[in-house]
Chains A and B, each alone.
Chain A
Amino acid sequence: MALLQISEPGQTAAPHQHKLAAGIDLGTTNSLVATVRSGKAEILPDVEGMHLLPSVVRYCETGAPQVGAIAKQSAISDPRNTISSVKRYVGRGLADICKGCSRSEYEFVDSDSSVPRIRTVAGDISPVEVSAEILKNLKLRAEETLGGELTGVVITVPAYFDDAQRQSTKDAAQLAGLQVLRLLNEPTAAAVAYGLDKGSEGVHVIYDLGGGTFDISILRLNRGVFEVMSTAGNTALGGDDLDRIIAQWLIQQAGLDPSALSAGQMRATLLEACRAKEALSDAEVVGVSLSVTDGSVADDAVWQGELTRTQLYELIDPLIQKTLSSCRRALRDAGIDVDEIEDVVMVGGSTRSPRVRELVGEFFHCEPMVDIDPDKVVAAGAAIQADILVGNKPDDEMLLLDVIPLSLGIEIMGGLVEKIISRNTTIPSAKAQDFTTFKDGQTALAVHVVQGERELVSDCRSLARFELRGIPPMVAGNARIRVTFQVDADGLLSVTAREQISGVESTVQVKPSFGLTDGEIETMLRESMSHAQEDIAARMLREQQVEADRIIESVESAIVADAQLLSAEERSQIDVALSELRKMRDGDDPRKIKQAIEALNTASTDFAARRMDASIQSAMTGHKVDEF
């Protein structure tokens, strides 16, 4: 019998050791964390056995913020300091936020930063920080349950999230001390959880109506590859809006003046609306009541009335129809007829509504699938993807090919948008387009990056602005400025502008106009670490050592596998860089380790590129055998 190997304490563990990974569904109303154990995705409960963490954070005068159910209890008594549905505000500017709701429950302050803050007793808080509190809570839950530090997580985002919203989600994860393996689109995660990879080939629709967002994705499955064909949706339409419209009706029926309602009364009305909506799933009619107390009347002044199912449908049908318009557009973009669809998977708590199921079923001519709890399916899918990405299933065939939801372009003369990458382009994606100067002798060029489908810049979302300077003076129209957009697998954009004749170059990792700056994040990180009493220097050193181990292991195994792709000269350069890095890795200077990593990277890049080419070519050679 072969003896099992045990590594020395403190030494790098065996490469195939099981790593801890989790999937996080950071939802508008509820958030969840899941992991894969014994081959199955499991939602991790808190100590009280609850799976759903209400996405509610309450800021207190002293001490750490409260998160979850305990915070939610204060929603009515302490509305200003209790933040719920923060996902609606992430990556948004103040103007957008105010446009979304006629009357916001929170006091937003316009700060120096481009990111709006919410005024609380604990200070002005950005939506990213609120999200980070929710993530920290889930991280702690996972690490306590699993008994170790998480190597990495997959966080889900609505497919229709734009670049700013995605970047802000990643920023929140960074603040929470999480290593993000991938941002995964919620509908795609749901498809994975449904195990659509297990033999159900064909075209599937994921209809995802959450608390605050709506997404529709159409994807084709083929031998474990999930290929998203199109996606559409609305990041400001969800179950919350159904509640809001019912609440408005209640207020009107009760004869109240909406502008005179206190924040607490508003919250109470929304809760009553939600209760009535849920009760009407079973009942034809439900009694409703509202406290009409505004201080001027006796304490027990209560309005009572009733809401019928017919009335409810009249209120919510227009909103459901809006989601079906998105479905129609997604079908068109995918070039698919309704009849080609295998099934429709329902995701998100709001798809519990019988009316939603009925109208969706009618639209797609089929009975929607509701086998998995619509609240849990996204987290489960994220956990499966995290398990694969972290390296626990090296032979898994699953691959997710997702798309960008909205076109990316830049502003040209006249306030018009020139699209560079169209919506529903598969990511990663890279595209370049040439532009030129407008005036004689023009030496600088302002690049304004926007996202959206409309022709006018003013109708699109502004993502970032940067300048390309130092263009040599030329006659108007003679300069050749190549603007390159690259979207990575998380759906995040970086932009390069380069004047082709002079070679002047400018690059931006698009830091969204409504995102936190790197400096702001660093400050927040420092503050949070001083709370946690974690030594920043130690953390930086550890990060570099992990990266060093990673590249050493990768290059070493590449040499073992493909030494024939290396010339003797290259081999000796790599060997030198390798031994230098090994030496630095055991030292305590993170900068020196970083330099040595870069040196090894430079020495081995061509080799890595050749190996990748070879592996693609060998994948193609397999086809020759299959097909002929």
Chain B
Amino acid sequence: MHAADLSSNFFALFDLPVSFDIELDALSARYRDAQRAAHPDKFANAPEGERRLSVQMAARINEAYRVLKDPLSRGRYLLELHGVALDDSDTAFDGAFLMEQMELRERLADVKNSADPVSQLRIIADDIAAHDKSLITQMADLLNEASAESLQQARNVSRKLQFFRRLNEEVEALEDELGDY
């Protein structure tokens, strides 16, 4: 056994099967117990070398939890484990998706001029959330099928999800602006 064992993959770190469908409660419980064993607070009196090691290990556990907790990052992580390249920007999106994006962006740009920008923004945010949810379901099915073709499709879905996430960030930035945070 060697230290490298735990870095093999994030699922193995929490002793979970490599699969999109994970019990979030089980993941959280395992995460907390892993931190109980590795967190720097448990090594406050340890020699410096061990303290450093504990910082690295705790950081890795945090990263693993962050990636597995969110369905999109979990999905993309699974694609990576399947050897599907994620960086390509050559994804061809269907016309319907592109139209939808354009329409949402136009609505977002108009928010500030509307009579009630806060509720307009709320409506757009809800639309984005609905799209997000349905795309996650699609991605889950494709990942579970795990054929070469379905993995490629899952990758395309994950790219679409990224567009929605980015749009959501813009919604939040605008929310901050309107709310004078």
What number of A-B contacts does a CB cutoff of 8 Å give? 147
Nearest to B32 among chain A residues (CB) is A225
* Chain B: interface residue total (CB-CB under 8 A): 49
With a CB–CB cut-off of 8 A, which chain B residues contact A430? 56, 59-60, 63
| B39 to chain A: closest residue by CB | A399
Question: Which residues of A have CB within 8 Å of B61?
Answer: 616
CB of A606 closer than 8 Å to a CB of B: yes
Report whether A619 and B46 are in contact in the complex, using a CB–CB cutoff of 8 Å: no
Q: Identify which of residues 47-68 in chain B touch chain A, using a CB-to-CB cut-off of 8 Å.
A: 47-50, 53-63, 65-66
A431 close to B63 (CB less than 8 A): yes
- Kindly provide the distance from the CB of B25 to the nearest chain A CB, expressed in whole angstroms: 9
For A606, give its contact among B3, B6, B14, B54 (CB under 8 Å). Answer: B3
Q: How far is the CA of A222 from the CA of B28 in the complex (A)?
A: 10
- Could you tell me which residues of chain A, from 394 to 417, have a CB within 8 Å of some CB in chain B? 397, 399-401
Q: Which of B15, B53, B54 meets A620, CB within 8 Å?
A: B15
Query: Does B55 contact A332, Cβ atoms closer than 8 Å?
Result: no
Asked if A420 is an interface residue, CB under 8 A from chain B, the answer is: no
Residues of the A chain whose Cβ atoms lie less than 8 Å from the Cβ of B44: 152, 181-182, 389-391
What residues on B are CB-neighbors of A489 within 8 Å? 39-41, 55, 58
> Are B1 and A613 in contact (CB-based, < 8 A)?
yes
Interface pair A605/B35, CB less than 8 Å apart: no
Contact A619 B29 (CB under 8 A): no
User: Cβ of B85 < 8 Å from any Cβ of A?
Assistant: no
Q: Are B62 and A623 in contact (CB under 8 A)?
A: no
B176, CB-defined interface residue at 8 Å: yes
Is the beta-carbon distance between B48 and A616 smaller than 8 angstroms?
A: no
Q: Are A401 and B39 interface neighbours, CB within 8 A?
A: yes
Q: Is the CB of A428 within 8 A of B40?
A: yes
Report B1-48 residues with CB < 8 Å from chain A CB: 1-3, 5-6, 13-15, 26, 28-30, 32-42, 44-48
* Known contacts A428-B55, A428-B62, A613 near B15 by CB under 8 Å: no
| Residues of chain A lying within 8 A (CB to CB) of residue B45 | 389-391, 550
Q: In the bound complex, what is the Cα–Cα distance between A623 and B33 (angstroms)? A: 9
A285 part of interface (Cβ distance < 8 Å): no
A308 interface residue per 8 A CB criterion: no
In the complex, the answer to whether B55 meets A622 with C-beta atoms within 8 Å is: no
In the complex, the answer to whether B33 meets A332 with C-beta atoms within 8 Å is: no
Instruction: Report if A425 contacts B (CB, 8 A).
Output: yes
Question: Does B106 lie at the interface of the complex (its beta carbon under 8 Å from any beta carbon of A)?
Answer: no
1/0 per residue, CB under 8 A from A, across B143-160: the answer is 000000000000000000
The verdict on A620 contacting B46 (CB below 8 Å), with A401-B39, A428-B55, A605-B53 known, is no
A610 to B6: give the CA distance in the assembly, Å. 10
CB of B59 within 8 A of CB of A429, answer yes
A624 an interface residue at 8 Å Cβ cutoff? yes
Tell me how far the C-beta of A279 lies from the nearest C-beta in chain B, rounded to whole angstroms: 30
B83 at the interface (CB under 8 A from A): no
A332 touching B175 in the complex, CB below 8 Å, given contacts A489-B39, A547-B47, A604-B49: yes
Closest to A400 in B: B41
With A426-B62, A565-B1 given, name 13 new contacts (CB 8 A): A222-B28, A225-B32, A225-B35, A329-B181, A332-B172, A389-B41, A399-B42, A401-B35, A486-B59, A489-B40, A601-B49, A616-B34, A623-B30
Q: 25 pairs across A/B with beta carbons < 8 Å?
A: A181-B44, A182-B44, A222-B28, A225-B32, A225-B35, A227-B32, A332-B175, A399-B39, A399-B41, A399-B42, A401-B39, A426-B62, A428-B40, A428-B56, A429-B62, A430-B59, A487-B59, A550-B45, A551-B47, A554-B46, A605-B53, A606-B2, A612-B54, A616-B61, A623-B26
**Which chain A residues have a beta carbon within 8 Å of chain B's beta carbons?**
152, 181-182, 222-223, 225, 227, 232, 322, 325-326, 328-329, 332, 388-391, 397, 399-401, 425-431, 453, 486-489, 547, 550-551, 554-555, 565, 597, 601, 604-606, 608-610, 612-624, 627
